Amino acid sequence: MIEIKKNIFWTGIKDWEMRHFHGHELSTHRGTSYNSYLIKDEKTVLVDTVWDPFREEFVSKLERDVGLENIDMIVINHAEPDHGGSLGYLLDRLPSRGIPIYCTKNGAEIIKKHFNRDDMNFKVVKTGDTVNIGEYDLVFVEMQMLHWPDSMLTYVKGAATALSNDAFGQHYAGISLFNDEVDNCELYEEAMKYYANILAPFSPLIKKKIEQIREMNLPIEMIAPSHGVIWRKDPMQIIDKYYEWSLDYNEGHAIIIFDTMYNSTREMGKAIAEGLETRGIKVKLFNAANTDQSDLITEVFKAKAVIIGSCTVNNTVLRPTAGLLEEIRGHKFKGKIGAGFGSYGWSGEASKIISTTLEKAGFKVAQPPLSLKYRPDENELAQCRAFGEKIALEMSAL
């Protein structure tokens, strides 16, 4: 166990090998951690568990370092298996039955369904509910949809520490537990990827929640999430970042994501990039087929204009583009410009599908899709450059 604040200990697991999370949905190039915390006050409180493949290691360490018989209560901030997953195993290993489990109403429902057992002593809490544990009080703050309907934050009053669960986390097995002892470029890359891929669909709720937390005026000296490193130095920086990210965030540049069979759509994408650059817009290009899809979602999150191209195959887009479009649709990004392009041989549906999908996903799509037959010639490449210039003008106007 590592003491992170007086009598508050990290008792989690660093998963250095994790490379895909949520099944295979999300890439995690730098591993992750499942942060569980133990508060040793007059009452000994365990806050969250770890993902169930690590349950034995987790519970054995608790047994060695604390003694299972000494745990008086459990707080489950979030029932998703990466945090609540070891609860059933832990309860079975505890020497006595009926330990109180503090969670939200939704949390109790999910935990019951997950473990299918009726011997759990739930203490259902809502925002503002407080429990004294000795020197410290635990104040609960519901964080609905950050990340599931049951999510909550446990604020340790007296230690000015927010145990925030998924919020403010990163899938990052760092060299240290603390933000002031890790590479902050890595840390912010992972924090933003986490927000873009997991939390961005809930941005309007996040904005409101951060406003509510600010209004509660809780002194915050430390934010300890359930994944990645703990914000010990200037903890408000990540709250301020989340607020910024929740406001239709972009960094002002364009990205072009192309998917190609025989280079024509790649050539189109490069010519569109030239057009954008002519008008002073910075642009990055990605091949959808060989770029990690979670990283692409982060790039979409950062971009002001997202221009996607695929050649047409069997009356539709290529498979990587199809998956990417579906993921973009689910993320509900706001305040971005979109456009579709692509080469074709005879039917040419791909660019229209891209354009329509982006529009339905909430992008502002002003340019008609650009479709070119077979290989683009010089005149057609000039059309692509002009297409890029028009998008650049739109971006300046937005």
Which residues sit at the interface with ligand FEO, rule CB under 6 A?
A: 78, 80, 82-83, 147-148, 166, 226-227
Our answer to whether residue 147 is catalytic in this structure is yes
Residue of 15, 52, 78, 172 marked active site: 78
In angstroms, the CA 241 to CA 222 distance is 15
**Minimum Å distance from CB 252 to ligand FEO?**
31
Residue of 34, 37, 102, 194 marked active site: 194
293 contacts 327 by C-beta, under 8 angstroms: yes
In angstroms, the CA 10 to CA 4 distance is 7
Residue in this structure with the two tokens 């927000």, named with its chain if needed:
195
Our answer to whether residue 166 is catalytic in this structure is yes
Residue of 166, 267, 380, 389 marked active site: 166
Alpha carbon dihedral 204, 207, 208, 209, in 10-degree steps, equals: 120
Helices (H) and strands (E) in the chain, counts: 12, 21
Q: Which is nearer to ligand FEO, 199 or 328 (CB)?
A: 199
Q: Which is nearer to ligand FEO, 147 or 193 (CB)?
A: 147
Q: Which is nearer to ligand FEO, 21 or 286 (CB)?
A: 21
Residue of 52, 80, 150, 389 marked active site: 80
**Minimum Å distance from CB 303 to ligand FEO?**
26
Our answer to whether residue 83 is catalytic in this structure is no
Our answer to whether residue 80 is catalytic in this structure is yes
Q: Which is nearer to ligand FEO, 20 or 375 (CB)?
A: 20
Our answer to whether residue 82 is catalytic in this structure is yes
Q: Which is nearer to ligand FEO, 147 or 302 (CB)?
A: 147
73-75 sheet: strands from edge to edge: 2-5, 8-10, 37-40, 44-47, 73-75, 100-103, 121-124
Our answer to whether residue 253 is catalytic in this structure is no
Largest CA distance in the chain: 79
Residue of 41, 48, 83, 147 marked active site: 147
User: b/e per residue, 250-266, with b = 16+ CB within 10 A?
Assistant: beebbbbbbbbeeebbb
Q: Which helix (H) or strand (E) is 310 found in, with range?
A: strand 305-310
Q: Which helix (H) or strand (E) is 222 found in, with range?
A: strand 222-225
Triad 239, 245, 248: Cα angle to 5°? 145
185 contacts 199 by C-beta, under 8 angstroms: no
**Minimum Å distance from CB 33 to ligand FEO?**
10
**Minimum Å distance from CB 83 to ligand FEO?**
6
Q: Which is nearer to ligand FEO, 5 or 78 (CB)?
A: 78
**Minimum Å distance from CB 145 to ligand FEO?**
10
Our answer to whether residue 41 is catalytic in this structure is no
Our answer to whether residue 183 is catalytic in this structure is no
**Minimum Å distance from CB 249 to ligand FEO?**
21
| Residues annotated catalytic, as ranges | 22, 78, 80, 82, 147, 166, 194, 227
